[in-house]
Amino acid sequence: MAKIRTIFKCTECGVMAPKWQGKCDECGAWNSFIEEMPSATSFFTRTAGVNHTPAATVRALNEIGNEEDRRRLLKLGELSRVLGGGLVDGSVTLIGGEPGIGKSTLLLQLCAEMATTQSPVYYISGEESPRQINLRALRLGINTHHIYVVSQTNVNACLALLKEKTPSLVVVDSVQTIFAPEIDSAPGSVSQVRECAIRLMNYAKESDVPVFLSGHVNKEGLVAGPRVLEHVVDTVLYLEGEKFNSFRILRAAKNRFGSISEVGIFTMSERGLQEVSNPSSIFIGEHEEENEGSCVVPLLEGTRPLLVELQALVSPTIFGLPRRVTTGFDTARLVMLASVIARRAFLKLGDKDIIACSAGGIKVGEPASDLAMVIAIASSAKALPVKPKLVAIGEVGLSGEIRPIVDLERRLKEACRLGFKRAIVPERGLKDIKVSFGDMQVLPVSTVKQAISLGLGRNNTAAE
């Protein structure tokens, strides 16, 4: 019998090579080649047969049905928002997150909702026993009458079972525990994860059954395994949050059926993940009185305006070099803003430590938050409070100018709805606004120095 020769394949672009290479000549990726052992029954032989290639189906684009009619609106409104307006039949969704963040809880809640209207729902578990899943369902108060738990890790056995039934939803928890017996590698390896994901994807497309995959994450917070896993699925979701914080944020990193800029906000309770009706109330404190080192900014998460409180603490350094420490705010941007304040607003920060954070644990990356952080830093450095019920919006340039931002009107409407009375905004951004905001006073500024003067209360001319 002829010896089977191994091949090496790049996990980034799929190019093959007869021997291992440190760098892929096709895509330039380093250390991306993995060894594969071709078996007598290859993937193409198992699916279609070498000499029996099916004929390609050709359809005119205007003859294909509208995908919008195949969406299922969910009672979990935050999940529907992130998915792009509902669950699409035949879609494959990968959800990742740190251990204990609530992935299995969210998937079990989704199963409970689908089981009340569409039955049955199959929950394939490779990590937990059926008893453990039942205990979680009892804790969440879920009726498990139409939810069927499958404790199986063989993908062939799982697909054979699913093809006999007519499920409305399939959940696989997790994809790293499922294996194909034809592949000579351990579950969770690159070959196994890729093969199992492709087979589950083919099943979803052929049967129009939505499939959810739970995935492990690495220390960088990304889904573990090959990048091809994220290429195969239709949607990639990440559930984020701190273990010691009850708030959870669901983000989309990839979505073939909608925008990736939407977020869903939940709070973890004894009854599972609960939707937050007013997310802005989570990330802002009480602003009836003047607060020192704290300013609110209206951000945009997709189409949703979200008010977030930014806090800063400026104190004399006890080390040789001043520190810049952030939580939820970009450190490099904080360094840039501190330099702009020192140079353009003549505020000495060279011998001061600056600690900045965002309330509620949300990650702030939008440039529109620059002006609010500048006012918070100046307030703490001068020991002067920020004026009550004030929001600040604007991007700060290196020359100290305040640049306009997108969707200013929508942000101001949300701030007005929540009772804020003052808004510091870029002067150049007001020309496109044609509506009023009730009794909220809109204060246009063009420089950092002007914004600090308008944002701080009492006598803000005191020298540092």
- Note whether 140 and 237 are same-domain residues: yes
Residue with tokens 């490779």: 126
Least confident of 57-66, 185-194, 455-464: 455-464
Residue 60 counted as domain residue: no
Residue 121 counted as domain residue: yes
- Note whether 108 and 224 are same-domain residues: yes
Residue 395 counted as domain residue: yes
CATH code of the domain in which 179 resides:
3.40.50.300
The pLDDT-based confidence of 79 (bands split at 50, 70, 90) is: very high
Alpha-carbon distance of 150 to 129, in angstroms, equals 9
Tell me the pTM. 0.77
pLDDT in tens, 195-223: 999 999 999 999 999 999 999 888 777 78
Residue 462 counted as domain residue: no
* 86's tokens: 């509902």
Instruction: Please check whether residue 147 is in contact with residue 121, taking contact to mean a CB–CB distance below 8 angstroms.
Output: yes
- Note whether 179 and 221 are same-domain residues: yes
Alpha-carbon distance of 155 to 197, in angstroms, equals 10
Helices (H) and strands (E) in the chain, counts: 12, 25
- Note whether 392 and 421 are same-domain residues: yes
- Note whether 127 and 74 are same-domain residues: yes
pLDDT in tens, 338-385: 999 999 999 999 999 999 999 877 889 899 999 999 999 999 999 999
- Note whether 141 and 225 are same-domain residues: yes
Residue 76 counted as domain residue: yes
> What pLDDT, on the 0 to 100 scale, is given for residue 189?
85
Host domain of residue 381: 281-455
- Note whether 98 and 238 are same-domain residues: yes
Residue ending a domain, choose from 277, 300, 317: 277
- Note whether 238 and 370 are same-domain residues: no
Give SS3 for 195.
helix
Alpha-carbon distance of 287 to 63, in angstroms, equals 56
- Note whether 106 and 17 are same-domain residues: no
What's the number of domains the chain is made of?
3
CATH code of the domain in which 294 resides:
3.30.230.10
Question: DSSP letter at 61?
Answer: G
Residue with tokens 């305006």: 305
- Note whether 17 and 164 are same-domain residues: no
- Note whether 98 and 161 are same-domain residues: yes
* 8's tokens: 């090496």
Residue ending a domain, choose from 277, 299, 325: 277
Report the run of H or E that residue 415 belongs to, with start and end: helix 408-417
Residue 48 counted as domain residue: no
Give SS3 for 334.
helix
The pLDDT-based confidence of 44 (bands split at 50, 70, 90) is: very low
Residue with tokens 């644990």: 361
- Note whether 170 and 183 are same-domain residues: yes
Report the run of H or E that residue 134 belongs to, with start and end: helix 130-140
- Residues contacting residue 305 through CB under 8 Å, at least 6 positions apart: 280, 298, 299, 407, 410, 411, 413, 414
Residue 93 counted as domain residue: yes
Instruction: Please check whether residue 216 is in contact with residue 174, taking contact to mean a CB–CB distance below 8 angstroms.
Output: yes
Residue ending a domain, choose from 253, 277, 301: 277
Instruction: Report the percent of the chain where pLDDT is more than 90.
Output: 54
Residue 50 pLDDT more than 50?
A: no
pLDDT in tens, 388-447: 999 999 999 999 999 999 989 889 999 998 889 999 999 987 877 767 788 899 999 999
